[in-house]
Amino acid sequence: MKDSQILHVGKPNIGSREKFFQRMNQIMDNAWLTNRGPFVIELEKKIAAYLGVRHFISMCNGTVALEIAIRAMCLTGEVIIPSLTFIATAHALQWQEIQPVFCDIDPVSYCIDPKEIARHLTPRTTGIIGVHLYGRPCDMDALRTVAENHNLRLMFDAAHAFGCSYQGKMIGGFGDCEIFSFHATKVFNTFEGGGIATNNDALAEKIRLMQNFGFAGYDNVIYIGINGKMPEISAAMGLTNFECIDEFIEINRMNYQVYRECLKNIKGIKLMEYDESDQCNWQYIVAEVGDDYPLKREELIKKLHAENILVRRYFWPGCHKMEPYRSYYPNAGLLLPNTEKISSRLLVFPTGTAVNQEIIRRICSLL
Ligand code: T4K
């Protein structure tokens, strides 16, 4: 079986090769490969304008963006996050010896449930990281109220939410800052990459310094820093793909509609809905496999994989059941009933430019 015949979740969307190769040549001519070259600067400007934020600082990936944002915001002690997320959200804290405290999700939005946060607060709590899971926004108003009431900092892991909005405002401008991932599997990719969006000038300045080892000019280091820089080649890919972002999102939207139409009469398969009154990127096709479906989820996965349809279980079993958290907090699941139930049912299907109507109809007919 050739890999091209396998249907992956997360197959990259790739814009014009010609334009990308032109930019690659330009990089060679410039002999400027990294350290805030012209393509990085251009991409940052374009993304800041797209998100409607004062600052967008590109990064080498979303995980380092999270780590730097967490450090720049002086989060310490304990930070409340949902357990239903990619493991990077938790690891970015633990890597810095900050304890991720897992909070349950709302069963409809799959995002952190603001009503559940209070029970997790301790004198060591310093912040909340909401995750816009699958690009669907958290309940920002409720989260802001909880954060303000308890004097906590609030940031968002918006790794899935590039191109999405909340009540008409682009995601990127909420909380103290929001981080994005531009990994190959995302609706918009820079091979590897990501960034931090913020409207806070002082925070942006600190993030820029930390991303470059803490250098504030030649030979002058004023913070602990790391190397979080995006190279020019990634920015060239970003600029190329950014020219097609509307097209990629439109393809995702049409794919979603075909899935919706084909799945609507399949008992036991419930497709996750998006709020169409806001802008969505439609990047994840997520369904819950219910008890009334004739197969258990794992049996269904086996059958689909046998047909080379590599559906995924993002984000089963929840971070609290992965190491080291499973060992550190063996009873965390007791306060996470929605996370446990929903993660055991989720199934993510292929979408993006790699599929078309015919492929989607075939997948659904197998179901
Ligand atoms: N926060 C959240 C909420 C996130 O979801 C993520 C990343 C992050 C933070 C961290 O951002 P980064 O540091 O990654 O920028 C994949 C991605 O690697 C990861 O970026 C993403 N979330 C996560 C949801 O998915 P894996 O371990 O599932 O990747 P893998 O290798 O199994 O690939 C996924 C599928 O994509 C495969 O079926 C094959 C296909 N694929 C992948 C690549 C890289 C391709 O077809 N072509 C490719 O080039 O994590």
Please enumerate in sequence order all residues whose Cβ is within 8 A of that of 339, keeping only pairs 6 or more positions apart, or say none.
Answer: 82, 83, 84, 102, 104, 105, 318, 320, 333
* pLDDT band at 184; cut points 50, 70, 90: very high
50 phi-psi bin (left φ>0, alpha ψ -120 to 50, beta other):
alpha
The whole-number pLDDT of residue 54 equals 98
Please enumerate in sequence order all residues whose Cβ is within 8 A of that of 333, keeping only pairs 6 or more positions apart, or say none.
318, 320, 321, 339, 340
Which of 179, 209, 242 represents a domain boundary (last residue)?
242
From first CA to last CA, the distance across the chain in angstroms is 22
Residues 323 and 360 in one domain: yes
Contact by Cβ (8 Å): 153, 147: yes
Half-sphere exposure of 65 (CA within 13 A, CB side): 28
Residue 270 lies in a domain: yes
341: domain CATH number? 3.90.1150.10
- Is 141 among the domain residues? yes
Has residue 73 been placed in a domain? yes
Out of 185, 315, 322, 355, give the residue to mutate to test ligand 1, the one with the largest number of ligand atoms within 8 Å of its CB.
Answer: 185
Mean pLDDT on 29-56 = 98
Radius of gyration for the alpha carbons in the chain, expressed in angstroms and rounded: 21
Structure tokens at 303: 């059958």
In a domain, 2, yes or no: no
pLDDT of residue 4: 67
- Domain assignment present for 1: no
If one counts the domains in the chain, the total is 2
How do residues 50-100 score in pLDDT, each as one tens digit? Answer: 999 999 999 999 999 999 999 999 999 999 999 999 999 999 999 999 999
pLDDT at 112 (0 to 100): 98
Residue after which a domain boundary falls, among 194, 212, 242: 242
**Do 216 and 283 share a domain, yes or no?**
no
CB 139 within 8 A of CB 109: yes
302 Cβ partners below 8 Å, 6+ apart?
none
Domain identity same for 237 and 249: no
How far is Cα 107 from Cα 109, in angstroms, rounded to an integer?
A: 6
Q: How much distance in Å is there from the Cα of 122 to the middle of ligand 1?
A: 33
The answer to the question of residue 301 being in a domain is: yes
Peptide bond into 114 cis (omega under 30): no
Confidence band, pLDDT 50/70/90 cuts, at residue 331: very high
The whole-model pTM stands at 0.97
Structure tokens, 235: 């920015």
Question: Within this chain, do residues 70 and 121 fall inside the same structural domain, yes or no?
Answer: yes
How high is the mean pLDDT of the chain? 97
Confidence of residue 5 (pLDDT cuts 50, 70, 90): confident
Task: Measure 7 CA to ligand 1 centroid, in angstroms.
Answer: 15
> Does residue 254 register a pLDDT over 80?
yes
CA of residue 13 to ligand 1 center, whole Å: 13
Atom of ligand 1 nearest to the CA of 63: 13
Same domain, yes or no: 181 and 61: yes
- pLDDT band of 2, cuts 50, 70, 90: low
Tell me, yes or no, whether 199 and 71 share the same domain: yes
Query: 197 and 151: one domain?
Result: yes
Tell which residue, 161, 158, 113, has the closest CA to residue 284: 161
For residue 151, what are the contacts with CB-CB under 8 A and spacing of at least 6? none
Mean pLDDT throughout 223-240?
97
Structural domain contains residue 225:
yes
Say what percent of the chain tops pLDDT 70: 99
CA of 149 to the centre of ligand 1 (A): 35
Asked if 260 and 166 sit in the same domain, the reply is no
Last residue of a domain, one of 221, 242, 263: 242
Distances 42 to 27, 232, 339 between C-alpha atoms, Å: 13, 10, 40
What are the tens digits of pLDDT across the range 212-228? Answer: 999 999 999 998 999 99
Three-class SS of the chain: CCHHHCEECCCCCCCCHHHHHHHHHHHHHHCCCCCCCHHHHHHHHHHHHHHCCCEEEEECCHHHHHHHHHHHCCCCCEEEEECCCCHHHHHHHHCCCCEEEEECECCCCCCECHHHCHHHCCCCEEEEEEECHHHCCCCHHHHHHHHHHCCCEEEEECCCCCCCEECCEECCCCCCEEEEECCCCCCCCCCCCEEEEECCHHHHHHHHHHHECCECCCCCECCCCCECCCCHHHHHHHHHHHCCHHHHHHHHHHHHHHHHHHHCCCCCEEECCCCCCCCCCCCCEEEEECCCCCCCHHHHHHHHHHCCEECECCCCCCHHHCCCHHHHCCCHHHHCHHHHHHHCCEEEECCHHHCCHHHHHHHHHHC
pLDDT score of 358? 96
Residue among 86, 134, 160, 319 to mutate when testing ligand 1 (max atoms within 8 A of CB)? 86
Report the nearest atom of ligand 1 relative to the CA of 310.
38
Q: Are residues 264 and 215 in the same domain?
A: no
Per-residue pLDDT at 36? 96
Rounded CA gap, 142 and 132, in Å? 14
Q: pLDDT digit string (tens) for 161-171?
A: 999 999 999 99
Does 276 lie in the same domain as 141?
Answer: no
Residues 161 and 274 in one domain: no
Within-domain flag for 268: yes
- Based on the fold, state whether residues 100 and 227 are members of the same structural domain: yes
Report residue 36 CA to chain centroid gap.
24
- pLDDT tens column, 110-145: 999 999 999 999 999 999 999 999 999 999 999 999
The range of the structural domain enclosing residue 135 comes to: 17-242
